[in-house]
């Protein structure tokens, strides 16, 4: 059973309805943002992880407990709960306080 589908690759070179740019430009722009945000997140995670990891090895008991508490908190709180909290917090800052509408389905 052979599929004789003809791919329409030319759609990437068509202009968007507003006529500014092509769909390929949109895709490349989105790819650029995705890569840049991923790299920024990686740098932040590396820096924060290095700091917290170093805190856990410090001889001072109080500072070491801060590092241990940080790690244990993120190990023991379920990832879905962490994501829900981050989406709820981030949405309020981005949308100007409409986060409760998003989380409750508009109620």
| pTM of the predicted protein model | 0.63
> How far is the C-alpha of 10 from the C-alpha of 8, rounded, in Å?
5
Which one-letter DSSP state was computed for residue 14? S
Q: Which two tokens stand for residue 1?
A: 């059973």
Angle (CA) 14-17-18 rounded to 5° is 115
Give pLDDT tens digits for 48-59. Answer: 999 999 999 999
Give pLDDT tens digits for 19-46. Answer: 889 999 999 999 999 999 999 999 999 9
Give pLDDT tens digits for 79-92. Answer: 888 888 878 765 55
């Amino acid at each position: 059973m052979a599929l004789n589908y003809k791919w329409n690759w030319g759609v990437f070179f068509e202009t968007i309805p507003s006529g500014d740019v092509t769909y390929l430009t949109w895709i490349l722009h989105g790819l650029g943002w995705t890569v840049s945000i991923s790299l920024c997140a990686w740098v932040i995670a590396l820096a924060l992880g290095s700091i917290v990891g170093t805190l856990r090895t410090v001889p001072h008991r109080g500072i070491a407990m801060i590092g241990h508490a940080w790690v244990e908190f993120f190990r023991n709180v379920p990832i879905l709960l962490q994501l829900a909290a981050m989406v709820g917090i981030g949405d309020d800052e981005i949308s100007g306080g409409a986060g409760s509408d998003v989380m409750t389905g508009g109620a």
